[in-house]
Amino acid sequence: MKFDSSAAFNEKRYEAIRSREVAGGDAFFYAVVTTGVYCRPGCGSRTPNRENVLFFDTPQHAEQQGYRPCRKCRPELKRGSEVHEKIIVKACRRLEQDEAYPMLETLAREAGLSPTYFHRLFKKIVGITPRQYYLKQRTDRLRRKLVDGDDVGTAIYSAGFSSLSGAYNQNEDRLAMTPKKFQQGGDDEQIWYGFSSCYLGIVLVAATDRGICAVELGDSEEQVYSHLHNQFPKAEIKPGDPDFEQLIKAVVDHIDNPSQKFDLPLDIQGTSFQQKVWKALCTIKPGNTSTYSVIAEKIGKPAAVRAVAGACAANKIAVLIPCHRILTKDKKISGYRWGRGRKRLILKKEKQ
Ligand SMILES: [Zn+2]
């Protein structure tokens, strides 16, 4: 491209600097006379005043005039050059291994670039943002671990899921697919389970590779296991290995201390209506109660009170999805799948 150095053209280039437009690519470079530094358009540094800016066609031209390359946008490196690629590939390797998302600032510092420029360069070379790349890796990691035969509880822990809401958001796409699977009774699904006991009796915790899919309460291991089997008649149900204990312990700890936040992902398999109801139940805080009609209103279906009651009754994840916090309009304890006596005990504990 040949450059027209007319004033109008330079105004356009200055506009590109101001808007931090990267589309211009290596179309031109600009130097700031007050700092002695030259940049490429898209650089994250402060926009210089128009009167201090000079334009150059190539980095060489800028350097011949005595300007130094900016440390943030590295204009001396050819865009998409090997050096840039190496920097980004290194960041990718790091994102693939990290348990938690490192701050953008940290990644950029390690790459020797400004956060803004690093972010843009990453997106340009990889096609997605560093955070998106990290999230994708985390999901792939979980899948790989499960293929390798790692226990599901360990896999969920070590794949770095950090919050219930995070898991919901992350799983939105997949949740849209689950109703069908649910209808089929967990066809082709692998489910791991284990038992423990707590003040409510025997607890069974079951999980798929996506998260906890059932928490059953009962008087004996046989009883809770048959509940699980009835819920997922077509799934391949197998005992979790010793690491699964971690997951069970987290559930029991939460049952014992309901005010503590529960951070592990739930695999809430149900129709989208049921999922809406269950998510609404999760917004009732421990110690509080609600009614079917309030939940019906909350999900924007005030007339669907009966259907809401049905969805509550279909909840497979005792305590973690707190359907026990639903009372009758006159604040009486209504039916509970795991027994009214247990419902009373849970509510009493949550009041403490
Ligand atoms: Zn710069």
**Which of the residue ranges 17-31, 84-98, 106-120 has the most confident prediction, judged by mean pLDDT?**
106-120
> Which has the higher per-residue pLDDT, 157 or 216?
216
Which homologous superfamily is 7-69 in?
DNA Methylphosphotriester Repair Domain (3.40.10.10)
Taking residues 4-17, report their average pLDDT: 75
Q: Where are the domains of the chain?
A: 7-69, 82-135, 165-351
Evaluate if residue 115 carries a pLDDT over 80. Answer: yes
Alpha carbon of 63 to ligand 1 centroid (Å): 14
Summary mean pLDDT of the chain: 79
Q: Would you please indicate which residues are annotated as catalytic (active-site) residues? A: 39, 323
* Sequence-ordered list of residues with C-beta below 8 angstroms from that of 332, at least 6 positions apart, any chain: none
Taking residues 160-186, report their average pLDDT: 39
pLDDT band per the 50, 70, 90 thresholds, residue 143: low
Evaluate if residue 185 carries a pLDDT over 70. Answer: no
pLDDT band per the 50, 70, 90 thresholds, residue 17: confident
Evaluate if residue 88 carries a pLDDT over 90. Answer: no
Alpha carbon of 97 to ligand 1 centroid (Å): 30
C-alpha span between 250 and 245 (Å, rounded): 9
Percent of the chain residues topping a pLDDT of 90: 25
Q: Give backbone dihedrals phi and psi of 264, rounded to 5 degrees, phi first.
A: -90, 155
Class of domain 165-351: mainly alpha
At residue 352, the pLDDT reads 82
Q: Give backbone dihedrals phi and psi of 196, rounded to 5 degrees, phi first.
A: -155, -175
Evaluate if residue 217 carries a pLDDT over 90. Answer: yes
C-alpha span between 336 and 167 (Å, rounded): 27
Alpha carbon of 27 to ligand 1 centroid (Å): 15
Evaluate if residue 276 carries a pLDDT over 50. Answer: yes
C-alpha span between 22 and 282 (Å, rounded): 44
At residue 172, the pLDDT reads 37
Q: Give backbone dihedrals phi and psi of 72, rounded to 5 degrees, phi first.
A: -85, -50
Instruction: Give the tens place of pLDDT for each residue, 284-343.
Output: 989 999 999 999 999 999 988 988 998 998 899 999 999 999 998 888 888 898 999 999
At residue 281, the pLDDT reads 92
User: What are the Cα distances from residue 78, in Å, to 3, 110, 146, 193, 279?
Assistant: 19, 20, 41, 55, 50
Alpha carbon of 85 to ligand 1 centroid (Å): 18
Alpha carbon of 61 to ligand 1 centroid (Å): 16
Of 50, 26, 48, 44, which is closest to residue 35 (Cα–Cα)?
A: 48
166: which DSSP letter?
H
Alpha carbon of 91 to ligand 1 centroid (Å): 20
Query: Could you check whether 82-135 and 165-351 share the same CATH topology?
Result: yes
**Cβ–Cβ < 8 Å for 237, 230:** no
At residue 345, the pLDDT reads 93
pLDDT band per the 50, 70, 90 thresholds, residue 166: very low
Say if domain 82-135 classifies as CATH 1.10.10.60: yes
Region for residue 112 given its phi and psi (left: phi exceeds 0; alpha: psi -120 to 50; beta: otherwise): left
* Sequence-ordered list of residues with C-beta below 8 angstroms from that of 97, at least 6 positions apart, any chain: none
At residue 324, the pLDDT reads 95
Asked which of 21-25, 31-35, 248-252, 281-285 is least confident by mean pLDDT, the reply is: 21-25
Asked which of 62-76, 140-154, 284-298, 299-313 is least confident by mean pLDDT, the reply is: 140-154
Alpha-carbon 7 to chain mean position? 49
Angle between helices 115-126 and 104-111 (to 10 degrees): 80
Evaluate if residue 117 carries a pLDDT over 50. Answer: yes
- Retrieve residue 14's tokens: 């200055």
